[in-house]
């Protein structure tokens, strides 16, 4: 790992921790993504994490808050755009017909995309609005 990669790993650790402390599993390799997507039959929330301000102020807090309700996904996973590039690219292959977007959130089940919240529905919105989008999706798919 070169000095830049090491620096970025250190800088992003707290951004990763915000989700892992809430129970999200990091998928950091394409193989881990394929393994998860090919074997998981339960409803899962996938957060495509990023270093941008809307991830910090909106996406991560909304994802965590959305888990407070009765209905929620059985599995929680995350990939980190710009950091774990290959894993993120592999996850995006499962989001058929969806433009790459980070941050973003997806509901997947049985290896299929069921619901997607792109950056455009995160940036400029309130955390509560994003939580509502997620909880509505949980009601439909969980």
HSE on the CB side for 121, CA within 13 Å?
Answer: 14
Partners of 89 in the β-ladder? none
Catalytic residue from among 8, 51, 54, 113:
54
Q: Is 52 a catalytic residue?
A: yes
Which helix H or strand E contains 31, and what residues bound it? Answer: helix 30-39
Q: Is 54 a catalytic residue?
A: yes
CA gap 115, 138 in Å, rounded: 10
Catalytic residue from among 33, 44, 45, 52:
52
Task: Annotate 23-37 with b (16+ C-beta within 10 A) or e (fewer).
Answer: ebebbbebebbbebb
Instruction: List the one residue out of 33, 46, 40, 105 whose CA is nearest residue 78.
Output: 46
Residues marked active site are found at 52, 54
């Amino acid at each position: 790992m070169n000095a830049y990669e090491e620096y970025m790993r250190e800088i992003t650790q707290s951004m990763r921790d915000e989700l892992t402390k809430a129970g999200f599993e990091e998928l950091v390799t394409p193989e881990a993504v394929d393994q998860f997507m090919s074997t998981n039959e339960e409803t899962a929330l996938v957060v495509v994490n990023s270093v941008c301000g809307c991830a910090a102020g909106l996406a991560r807090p909304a994802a965590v808050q959305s888990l407070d309700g009765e209905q929620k996904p059985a599995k929680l996973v995350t990939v980190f755009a710009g950091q774990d590039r290959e894993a993120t690219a592999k996850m995006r292959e499962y989001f058929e017909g969806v433009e790459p977007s980070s941050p973003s959130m997806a509901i997947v089940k049985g290896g299929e995309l069921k619901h997607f919240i792109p950056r455009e529905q995160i940036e400029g919105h309130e955390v509560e609005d994003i939580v509502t989008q997620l909880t509505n999706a949980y009601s439909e798919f969980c």
